[in-house]
Structure 1
Amino acid sequence: MHPGLGRVEALLSRLGDPQRAFRTVLVGGTNGKGSTAASLVAMLRAGGVRAGLFTSPHLTRFTERFVVDGAELPEAEVAAALAELRPHAEEVGASFFEVITALGAELFRRAGVEVAVMEVGLGGRLDATNALDPVLSVLTNVSLDHTEVLGDTREAIAREKAGILRAGRPAVTGVAADLRPILRAEGADLWALGEAACLNVQWRGWDGSDVTVDSPAGTVTLRTPLLGAHGAANAGLAALAGLRLGLSAGEVQAGAQ
């Protein structure tokens, strides 16, 4: 399979470009994508937003990948949409992940989702989710992963993952300071933890931590059950993303409970 977005874009086009029916947030990075995406969706729901969550891989059920308002979509509904999509996927030669990305977009359109939070699969620039045009991009962190595909240095991997950013559009990141110039080269309106936004953490042992995010969009303190420094950073990044999407501090706090 040759890398590129052509197949998934063709598949989405055949489906009537369902991704245009909702706003998209892309969540990429080496670690913490899933927890950050799930935390952001909880905050959106607390703000009264009908939100979809697309994650991968699934653990026990295929339908785990497609969640709307906190509930997996019914198996029959997913199967019916997949059956309709299948001939189009075969025509364009789409890969498995390209198929489920397009399937997620179609399911979210049918469900009347307002905002879809999409977890990036691999890398970013050429990942199928990048065929969706995000109103906000979230990049958790960058370290060595999938070096055979993304490159064997942190800088090379950062360039691939930065591909989910859009020039002139909001983005938030927890990426280390030495790699941020690579991200800024994409031209996004980037807010970084430890730079535009300050992160303060008070540890609560096995109960998680209290995380305060102070940003140009406001200040919020939330308690998260996520453990360790990475868990606190992911919760803080989700909070920053929520603020950038226009949620209030109270809505962010409520979603973090």
Structure 2
Amino acid sequence: MPLVTRRTWTRAAGVVPLTALAAIAACVGAVLLTAGASHPTQLLVAVATLVAGALAVLVAARTLAPDAVHRGVGAARAAWAREDPAVELGADGAADAADALLALPRGWRVAAARGRVVVPQGRVETWVLRAARGSGRSDRRREVVVVPAATGTARASFGDRPHSLSPAWAAAGQVEEPWATEVRRRIGRHQDLPLAVVIGEQRVLVIALDDPRPETARARVELARDIAAIVGARG
């Protein structure tokens, strides 16, 4: 089962194409190295290298590609739920429609929410983001934490551009809420990969580029709760 690391999804997205490129390069190299050999020998070496490369691609797809990694992430989160009685393992399925509507830009949807766990007053899950048909963009994974918050009618988005997706409603601009500076300070104290924080519709979402490890999820839950407290106290 793949190891769950800080750059789990970044690695998974690149493993199959990189393995395929390496296989092609190995085939070319084998042909060049056998340039002085007879034609049957060259052909045999080329075919053997291609077969080995194809097997390497298949193994990579089976063990390190996104579907396999989802199983690894699910196992890590199941272990988290077993170790912490306050954490419950949830079922994979659709994302909450209000979460997606608040957080996503136009042209993207959540194809699935996987690796879901329910924590006290919140959720942790991995979103499989899919672009509109015909866009040519591949699926993306984002690590998401959601906690309730007394946001009233306010909406705000804070993010590490260009790594984070900007909500569709943010294109029209947003009001500088009285708690915005304090929220920025709290985000600034959080050590993590690039992430976005989206506030509104009675919730706070933290959407991170990568790192599905349980210890990182716990820190993001704490971040989201702190932001919810700031918004609730000054809203």
**Structure 2 length as normaliser, TM-score?**
0.27
Please say which structure displays the higher CA radius of gyration. Answer: 2
**Structure 1 length as normaliser, TM-score?**
0.25
Q: Greater relative contact order (Cα 8 A, min sep 6): structure 1 or 2?
A: 1
